[in-house]
Structure 1
């Protein structure tokens, strides 16, 4: 693998230094010109009190650095430009008292409008952070890459509301708040919507766990988001915001590290990105490539093997941007990733630490492919975006079924999606978005069971769905400080499916029943949403919102029979308060309380053959409380804290569930009742532009249960994950030393490794204490 990365590294190192990008800003109001520059140059600009937002400014065109363009914009307006960092600037009156000394704490937040404009792009209409009517968590790309890129695990470690199963990279299911269905990868649609920009990543497949190199930010919207995102957003949305291609600019970045895991093998990671102008300032290419090997730490004494669970990840993505003129842009992109796990990462609880026994390796592969086309247009504040994606995902797993048998499961998914929307951001106290979408998903699940060298195909299923949707949402500010929002989504879903390799007895004796099961069917749903918010104090917003979400039904396998499960639906009423902006103000706070009603819950249980099957287990309710806070007492120190409480219950088990001895339960699985996080960071200048940055965090995950029924009733959770990271360097180059799992604790992230060993307790331990030495550079 090392040889294959040498050309990439050479290309990155040989890339010329960053030149000024091509800027094209028409004459008009200062505020509109600044917003256009921010979009073209990927910078953030705050306009302070005393500077007229509507002041007329001249056109600015040419190959200019962002600060040079800003200075031209404000020339003659009586304002000046102050650089906060390389991508954050402030426009303030030229006659101003001296800035506060670095040793003094920053001024308290005065008003949301005074802050650098953080835009919640996941709102689909460019809502300012301070105006968003709900809880949104935004993690900057700089924070995600600090200490080494870790994919979804790195994101979870920074949030209290996001959780996951832990079968392995590319195999996991994500959950937000208390909305969790099951522990297995099966026919049910995900409860969390995942997006790469405006492209949907998955439908009913697991989290692809794309590595988050060259990312601007990740936005997490909590609570149902069906009005804007449709089916599969019961718990919320995870949206990856990429750094877009920059026209007329040449730049590159590279990072690499080596890690040592206690009780395990070493690891290696390398990744880089490059932005290249292809045709002057009309076409640009931005590409990312990476390779990672994570050292194993689980031993299998029965086979005489140590550190069996090594995982290798390789992938990349590229986007080619065309400036088609007249504010039209066209992006063509591709994303590829391959994950190979040599064995499972679970351990036997009653065995020596970090060991399990199996007759052979229980490995897996996870492949993800995505092609995308995105077309955009801007008409003086009115914006159009059409996004089309074609994704193929394949997950192949093998399990030791005992008695010399192997069980294999192959999940293949084809997802084709398009969304076209038109919107106007909030302006003159009114903003709106309207659009339509089309989703086609085909998911095949093939199974085989038998001798290791010749397993026999067993019953599988194919599920197909076609969703056509129209949606819209609008916000109105009838009086200053009060915003009202209403929206709705009308979805028509056509579902079909059939059994694969069905048992002969089933095929002959139940042909009529099978015909009824596989017949096409359709359903139409209207999902409304309403919200209101009030700015009661400077920088403070109170909000209340009501939203719904749903998932279509489908087919699953139960004891070699194909059975149907119905769609489920959630309705959430939430209220909360937000103060300040994380990372920008001396103090920020977000707190919410939510009540969720969940009807016809889709969940997995263990069938008579010892395999997962899906059914509707009844109705339930979820109470959620969440608090997130940040504090910056000085410019050097910052602290953050989060606490999430979830109380979930099945309040009305279905008749089918009550007749199954394996199903009875009261608590919805996989979500801890309590989760908490503490973080701290210190940054200071050592000499000139040489900086020291130190960060530390601790995240506690409380107890939860594995799944539905006594066979999946094992306890999991109740562990503490810790990290410490330090970086010394300049903006363009630095050295990083990081340490994770400081106490070298084992814990239990997930009480499952194979469904064929439920008679013995299984745990998924934390990765043992690991130290990583890394370097990073920008050109």
Structure 2
């Protein structure tokens, strides 16, 4: 696996070898072939253009010089080979030789410590282009091509490759993500997320669910375990997930298309189709457009309404990016994203319901529980360099709306519906300047402003005429300054320190509240909804030592926080306070994925969590939010890989979480005394993966990738009502692709054992305790075709 290779270089101390030698380069992306050539020949090769890095090339094998092999790769990728000093070369898009197109110079990170033959993988999520070998923390780097193998999924494709990331499973566009055992609740309410999600440099959401964008035409996904409060601020308690799209390419017309048909055991068929077009609009402007549509067949029957396969989900969306080369190393990117998700019905089933004689999952509900999730974003990014200092300013505006219906029918009563709409608007800007690590010193300073407004409106009653019930509006204006710097104390030993200062202005109000009959009640409401200001200081410090050429040891301290807000309890609006985490972590890293035959990273961390924000069920049966007390979390995580033979890579990951609410809130003490584990986090989770590639001749390659992921037991929430067990299931998949870089056929199978499992023990909060489960999608076979032009 390899990710965030937006900037990459291969640097070795040995001179380029001019003589002939054995060359064995795999078919696939140009960047991977270049890395392999550098290792085999001892040359220094730089690929500074992210679009060029991902171009497909055929296999190159035989006895030849490094330059001859590089020329073959360059011809296949429509690139030129340019001398880079006396010992290496640089690949540039071929159009650069024919037209005076000015492109931003590649940001190649040079490290002062001794570097062995291998790739300097850059952690762009560090906001200052830190080489992975110098980054103190746990990082997962996922390649966009790998994530799209067998069909571009959404967040589920990330979950499948990492043991440390988990999620609720209400449905696409409705879920909450968790990293490092830091989870707050099961519902989509007023609390801010514990995981920050970013698309490029812009935040996808603030206190809204995961939009679950489809991963079409993605360069990489980077996951940084948290907290990441100093660089990313509020809502990064567990960490961040940063998705990097492929950027528009100057001077190159290209297109790709991928689609497939699927069949689900005991359910309906599905289909998916996505296409990408890159179009130059002159010498200095390029446009890249992506569009897609997905239909996932249903597999749950509702015998009460005499309906089969009720839970089909449809997803449509796309994005466009326009890049302007402004000259002198400056560029301007203007883009937009849109995705619309519609679920015909909810994803849950009855645990012990009898089947209909065909192995189907069933749920008897009195109403249709459909949902919709809409997401739009517009963004403007200006980046460049002033001297040796890099500068980037990112501005975005986001609109997100989630509408849900729940079956609120009481036993023996008439059908009732509970409807909820969560509408969010986010406006954000971040501007930063940084100096990558050079001559033993690097730094970043920045500032940001965020405005977020969320309105949660609700109704309850008969299906045709539900009446409004109490809702709430929360708004926040957040201004921040931050900075971080690294110094090489001695050769191989680097210290980093930084801090973030955030001033947040919070406001809120209740919606559809019954009028106060007493003056004292009106005064109390005014106090709860009064504006207030919170100031937070989030420090960080770390130390990393290169004790051996491939081994690094590190330790770090980091804090994170979430602001408070207003929540609904019964017919009242009340306040919940901010919460805060402090984490002490130590870890070890051996080798680098993709650059070494074996690699391993492992860490152990201890987190103290103050005033935990979490959800519970109030007296009326509706979800509410409160500070449930203080807690602590011990986490151990490890990930590694091994290449036992040419063409075969094995990888594995494991995480252990021991979480406790150590000092429960006095108001919730009785409930928490029965169940003190932090919700939604399994104590154990692990995965195994295998990736096999074989050259079949005539530029054909066979690739087979399979994985198995186990998720241990966890609980839905806090208290006896939300104490349902979930988890303890095994998920599996196997995908094979045969073809050339420009054309291939895939065959994939998910849930090989056709197991049911229980990913999430919630369908409707009005029937908790009645054996609700959210099963895995039954065994599904997909056949697909992909082509690039």
TM-score greater than 0.5 by the shorter chain: yes
What is the aligned counterpart of 2:398 among 386, 391, 395? 391
Match of 2:119, SS? Answer: coil
The residue number in structure 2 matching 1:413 is 424
Question: Displacement, 1:374?
Answer: 0.3
The residue number in structure 1 matching 2:345 is 343
Deviates more, 1:377-386 or 1:144-153: 377-386
Give yes or no for contact 2:267–2:297 (8 Å, CA) kept in 1: yes
The residue number in structure 2 matching 1:298 is 300
1:148 pairs with 2:155: no
The residue number in structure 2 matching 1:646 is 657
Match of 1:712, SS? Answer: coil
Structure 2 gaps of 5+ residues are 1-28, 30-43, 56-73, 95-112, 356-360
| Inter-partner Cα distance in structure 1 for 2:76 and 2:133 | 25
The residue number in structure 1 matching 2:457 is 446
What is the aligned counterpart of 1:320 among 316, 319, 322? 322
Question: Displacement, 1:636?
Answer: 1.0
1:396-545 aligned within 5 A: 396-402=403-409, 403-505=414-516, 510-545=521-556
What is the aligned counterpart of 1:72 among 82, 99, 105? 82
Give yes or no for contact 2:225–2:238 (8 Å, CA) kept in 1: yes
The residue number in structure 2 matching 1:6 is none
User: Structure 1 residues 191 and 742 mapped into 2: Cα distance closer, same or farther (>3 Å)?
Assistant: same
Give yes or no for contact 2:312–2:344 (8 Å, CA) kept in 1: yes
User: Structure 1 residues 661 and 178 mapped into 2: Cα distance closer, same or farther (>3 Å)?
Assistant: closer
Question: Displacement, 1:39?
Answer: 5.5
| Inter-partner Cα distance in structure 2 for 1:234 and 1:661 | 25
The residue number in structure 1 matching 2:366 is 359
| Inter-partner Cα distance in structure 2 for 1:174 and 1:200 | 15
How many residues end up aligned between the 2 structures?
Answer: 702
| Inter-partner Cα distance in structure 1 for 2:311 and 2:761 | 17
The residue number in structure 2 matching 1:207 is 210
CA deviation profile, 1:669-700 (whole Å, cap 9, x unmatched): 00000000000111010113100001110000
| Inter-partner Cα distance in structure 1 for 2:725 and 2:193 | 23
What is the aligned counterpart of 1:382 among 389, 405, 409? 389
Question: Displacement, 1:114?
Answer: 2.4
User: Structure 1 residues 286 and 81 mapped into 2: Cα distance closer, same or farther (>3 Å)?
Assistant: closer
The residue number in structure 1 matching 2:603 is 592
Root mean square deviation, CA, Å: 2.1
CA deviation profile, 1:630-683 (whole Å, cap 9, x unmatched): 00112211100111000000000112222x648853100000000000001110
User: Structure 1 residues 457 and 176 mapped into 2: Cα distance closer, same or farther (>3 Å)?
Assistant: same
| Inter-partner Cα distance in structure 2 for 1:603 and 1:159 | 25
What is the aligned counterpart of 1:180 among 183, 195, 204? 183
| Inter-partner Cα distance in structure 1 for 2:441 and 2:352 | 62
| Inter-partner Cα distance in structure 1 for 2:152 and 2:81 | 36
The residue number in structure 2 matching 1:689 is 699
The residue number in structure 2 matching 1:715 is 725
| Inter-partner Cα distance in structure 2 for 1:37 and 1:262 | 46
1:749 pairs with 2:749: no
CA deviation profile, 1:364-417 (whole Å, cap 9, x unmatched): 000001000000012343100000010000000011110321110000000011
Match of 1:702, SS? Answer: strand
Match of 1:289, SS? Answer: strand
| Inter-partner Cα distance in structure 2 for 1:515 and 1:607 | 22
Give yes or no for contact 2:472–2:573 (8 Å, CA) kept in 1: yes
Question: Displacement, 1:248?
Answer: 1.2
| Inter-partner Cα distance in structure 2 for 1:661 and 1:240 | 39
Give yes or no for contact 1:487–1:529 (8 Å, CA) kept in 2: yes
1:669 pairs with 2:669: no
CA deviation profile, 1:486-510 (whole Å, cap 9, x unmatched): 0000000000101000123578762
CA deviation profile, 1:98-132 (whole Å, cap 9, x unmatched): xxxxxxxxxxxx97552223211111001111111
| Inter-partner Cα distance in structure 2 for 1:301 and 1:671 | 33
The residue number in structure 2 matching 1:284 is 286
| Inter-partner Cα distance in structure 1 for 2:273 and 2:628 | 45
The residue number in structure 2 matching 1:248 is 251
User: Structure 1 residues 594 and 113 mapped into 2: Cα distance closer, same or farther (>3 Å)?
Assistant: same
1:657 pairs with 2:668: yes
User: Structure 1 residues 111 and 630 mapped into 2: Cα distance closer, same or farther (>3 Å)?
Assistant: farther
| Inter-partner Cα distance in structure 2 for 1:512 and 1:571 | 36
1:369 pairs with 2:384: no
Match of 1:228, SS? Answer: helix
Give yes or no for contact 1:67–1:81 (8 Å, CA) kept in 2: no
What is the aligned counterpart of 1:772 among 757, 768, 782? 782
The residue number in structure 2 matching 1:5 is none
1:704 pairs with 2:704: no
Question: Displacement, 1:72?
Answer: 2.3
Give yes or no for contact 2:51–2:246 (8 Å, CA) kept in 1: no
Give yes or no for contact 1:717–1:747 (8 Å, CA) kept in 2: yes
The residue number in structure 1 matching 2:18 is none
Deviates more, 1:627-636 or 1:739-748: 627-636
Structure 1 gaps of 5+ residues are 1-17, 19-32, 45-63, 87-109
| Inter-partner Cα distance in structure 2 for 1:535 and 1:676 | 28
Give yes or no for contact 1:159–1:677 (8 Å, CA) kept in 2: yes
| Inter-partner Cα distance in structure 1 for 2:598 and 2:132 | 15
Match of 2:708, SS? Answer: strand
Match of 1:72, SS? Answer: strand
| Inter-partner Cα distance in structure 2 for 1:663 and 1:401 | 28
| Inter-partner Cα distance in structure 2 for 1:194 and 1:185 | 16
CA deviation profile, 1:565-597 (whole Å, cap 9, x unmatched): 000000000000011111221000000000000
Question: Displacement, 1:71?
Answer: 3.0
Give yes or no for contact 1:218–1:239 (8 Å, CA) kept in 2: yes
| Inter-partner Cα distance in structure 2 for 1:323 and 1:440 | 30
| Inter-partner Cα distance in structure 2 for 1:664 and 1:40 | 54
The residue number in structure 2 matching 1:21 is none
Give yes or no for contact 1:333–1:371 (8 Å, CA) kept in 2: yes
Give yes or no for contact 2:395–2:428 (8 Å, CA) kept in 1: yes
